[in-house]
């Protein structure tokens, strides 16, 4: 987090502790929604194609922190968070016909990542 502290951020950037609080709420929701879908796919009740956006999202989400704070590559982190955002929307649309509840459960994740994408874009542009 030392790297994050040195970056120029927009005035509306949340305080660093907010990120931990929000993610500690979101991760159980994400695990429940995606876990349910994965379970249904494994049982053959949902099409395997649903795993494409779900798995891309999971990999991209996990990759963000090492890219942003390990590699300290703002442009790559920007690309990664856009992938996270796009795959949330893609997942929600793909899941909707099979489970509206699982799709809607991802709404808080979508809201937060939309804000995080705007923040990352601002930080990337302010620190070029």
d(C-alpha 37, C-alpha 55), whole Å: 11
Let me know if 53 is exposed, middle or buried by CB neighbors in 10 A (0-12, 13-18, 19+).
Answer: buried
The average pLDDT across 66-78 equals: 97
Residue 50's pLDDT band (cuts 50, 70, 90): very high
- 32-48 residue pLDDT tens: 999 999 999 999 999 99
d(C-alpha 93, C-alpha 4), whole Å: 33
Q: Taking Cα atoms as reference points, which of 37, 45, 77, 48 lies closest to residue 60?
A: 77
- 99-125 residue pLDDT tens: 999 999 999 999 999 999 999 999 999
| Helical spans, DSSP H, in the chain | 2-6, 16-42, 51-65, 74-95, 100-105, 107-126
Q: Is the pLDDT of residue 1 over 70?
A: no
Domain boundary assignment for the chain: 17-126
């Amino acid at each position: 987090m030392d790297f994050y502290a040195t970056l120029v951020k927009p005035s509306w950037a949340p305080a660093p502790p907010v990120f931990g609080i929000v993610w500690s709420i979101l991760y159980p929701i994400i695990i429940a929604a995606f876990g349910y879908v994965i379970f249904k796919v494994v049982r053959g009740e949902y099409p395997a194609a649903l795993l494409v956006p779900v798995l891309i999202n999971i990999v991209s989400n996990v990759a963000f922190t090492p890219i942003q704070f390990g590699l300290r590559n703002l442009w790559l982190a920007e690309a990664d968070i856009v992938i996270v955002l796009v795959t949330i929307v893609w997942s929600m649309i793909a899941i909707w016909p099979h489970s509206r509840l699982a799709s809607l459960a991802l709404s808080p994740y979508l809201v937060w990542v939309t804000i995080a994408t705007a923040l990352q874009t601002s930080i990337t542009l302010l620190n070029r």
